Amino acid sequence: MKTYKKFLEKVNDRGYGIPETKSLSKGEFFDLLKDCDSIDGNYLRIYRSVDLTDNFYFINNENFERRSAYSSNQYTLWINHHEEWKDYPKRNLICSINYTRFFGSNNYVVIPFKNSKWGIVPDDDIQDISNIYDLNDLNIDDQDFDDMISDLKLNYEYDDIKIKKPEKLGFHVCDYKDITKYTKNEDHEIWTDSNVLLIRLDIFGEYFKFYSSSLSSSSS
């Protein structure tokens, strides 16, 4: 944990933008990997497709709130700020457990740091969950949660806006090691607001073998 904390202080002191995506050397990546959840034979691969090119990255999700990328932002505000979703992470980093969901120029394996929290969508895309996504069809503010609620009360019968609780919609929240309890190797969108590492999918196998052998040698 010492390496991770020192690195994070160093990153924040340099004043990188938020959210920060910092390219890493191989040495930096493997130093930080020691503070991540264990990569072993049972490791659940999480993927993120993004327009990056380097082999290794650190994603800093702290003090940041993402806007919806391909739509208006109402449902994201609701999830990030509504009391019924308080146990869920903010929708800062959107990932998949299916590498074929390819939107960017390269696919990366996402490796979370310890104690990460994840939201699990009951489908491969949250836009397919009509009840929560229907908020985007309303003529309400999508910049600020309080303003959005004010618009709902002003322009609609607020009590008639029947957004179901997350568990009724099939959503789940859990730590990294419990993701497979709710996905069962099916195609699901998942998200987190925890910091993560990225490694390019096309080199993951090569470096996974290196890391596994280094673990074996250090324990012998």
Better-scored residue on pLDDT, 17 or 66: 66
| Tokens encoding 168 | 């009724």
Helix (H, G, I), strand (E, B) or coil at 113: strand
pLDDT band at 79 (very low <50, low <70, confident <90, very high): very high
pLDDT in tens, 177-214: 899 889 876 789 999 999 999 999 999 888 776 555 44
Measured CA to CA, the distance from residue 149 to residue 131 in angstroms comes to: 17
DSSP assignments along 142-154, one per residue? SS-HHHHHHHHHH
pLDDT score at 117: 96
pLDDT score at 210: 55
For the chain, the structural domain boundaries read: 2-215
Better-scored residue on pLDDT, 107 or 158: 107
- pLDDT > 70: what percent of the chain? 80
pLDDT score at 58: 95
Q: For the chain, what's the residue count?
A: 220
pLDDT score at 5: 66
Residue 52's Cβ-count burial label (10 Å; 0-12, 13-18, 19+) is middle
Mean pLDDT, range 105-121, rounded to an integer: 92
pLDDT score at 50: 87
pLDDT in tens, 6-55: 656 555 443 333 467 899 999 999 899 889 886 655 567 899 988 899 99
